[in-house]
A and B are shown apart, each in its own frame.
Chain A
Amino acid sequence: MPATSERAPPSSGSATATPLRPASRPIAWRFATVAEVLTETPRARTLVLDVPGWPGHRAGQHVDVRLTAEDGYQTQRSYSIASAPEDARVTLTVERLDDGEVSPYLTDELRVGDQLELRGPIGGHFVWNVATGGPLLLVGGGSGIVPLRAMLRHRAAALGTADAKAGHHIPARLLYSSRRWDEVIYRDELARLVEDDPTLEVTLTLTREPPPGWTGFRRRIDRIMLAEVAWPPAERPHVFVCGGTPLVEAVAAALVELGHDPARVKTERFGPTGG
């Protein structure tokens, strides 16, 4: 069967429109090849992948990764796509969980040239593109930054074109919680994005030992912090919250208490992760 270009038709502009795929078949499992492995933090690695037949994706989507042991035992995990749709290659950023079954293999064992079985892109709820509009409020904890970073990369690519400057004005704010300075994933990239774009604000909070001289927030994200950092509800920001379940639920509840429309607060729980 000849390979067909499966590029999804552009979104009609509605955040919820889901273009139908031409053929009615499930999203296929395929083997990607690891092209590069980058170290983000002591526990986080970015895997840059060559994925044959990749149809493109939307910022916020994820892939399912499947590992098969020699005895046939299979296990599966979901990982948010770290790259923007505009990026040349699909990338994933994985943070090693000490007692993880899958993450230590991905962060410590995978080498350039190895293959990884995955399917995707998956998901149509926790997604954002510039057509959805703003203001854009992103709140993340630990590895929850991954899909948010894809959104920011997409925003930078889309707003960076000459066409776009004419029409788009989408201010964005990121509030990102990490345990320590050296565990802030994409730390340098976030600083560069801010430097290049006065309409982007990034606020970090560190929940454990901050570095000497740290004048930023030094506690878990709470309602007071959100009230300071977020837009007022009257601005009707599009909000995306991602990270461990306790953080996501506390943040979503606080935002609704502050008056934000629950329908505009989208959440993606990563389960009982640290951060």
Chain B
Amino acid sequence: MDHGLEESVADSLRLDGNAAAGVLSELFVPDLTAAHATCAGCGATRAVGALLVYAHGMGTVMRCPDCDGAVLCVTRTATQVWLDPTGARRIIIAVAQSAI
């Protein structure tokens, strides 16, 4: 499937989860990009920082590199942030061991 120039322009604008770390830091206390997410579409598990990020005017879509499914979507309005996590079956965040 060759979309020619269109595809290559979109490809070169593609970022990764690191680019979403800032907006995610507004919603989560621990850094989420080091967390591992399991894609609800295909079951692949990888660091959130390794998801593919397509930023557009309304928000950020984080896609699975394997199946292209949207794993996390963050959309902003003037007064709200909408987080759609339904593309993620599970997110595992490592925390420092507490010294009890």
Task: List residues of A whose CB falls within 8 A of some B CB.
Answer: 9, 11-12, 14, 16-21, 24, 26-27, 62, 64, 76, 78, 119, 122-127, 244-246, 249, 263, 266-272
Contact = CB atoms under 8 A, between A and B. Distances in A.
A17 B96 contact: yes
Contact of A245 (B15, B18, B95): B15
B25 A27 contact: yes
Interface string B1-21: 000000001011111111101
B29 A21 contact: yes
B96 A12 contact: yes
B11 A122 contact: no
Contacts of A78: 19, 22
B97 interface: yes
Contact of A124 (B15, B21, B97): B21
Interface stretch (B47-55, B56-64, B69-77, B83-91): B47-55
Contacts, number: 102
Given A9-B96, A18-B95, A20-B96, A269 B49 contact: no
B22 A124 contact: no
Contacts of A271: 12-15
Contacts of A24: 29
A26 B25 contact: yes
Interface of B: 9, 11-19, 21-22, 25-26, 29-31, 33-36, 46-50, 93-97
Given A18-B96, A272-B12, A125 B19 contact: no
Nearest to B93: A18
Nearest to B31: A124
B96 A125 contact: no
A31 B34 CA distance: 27
A125 B17 contact: yes
Contacts of A21: 29-30
Contacts of A26: 25-26
B31 A18 contact: yes
Contacts of A12: 96-97
A141 to B, nearest CB: 13
B81 to A, nearest CB: 11
B64 to A, nearest CB: 14
Given A78-B19, A119-B22, A272-B12, A126 B96 contact: no
B33 A125 contact: yes
Nearest to A10: B96
A16 B13 CA distance: 27
A126 to B, nearest CB: 5
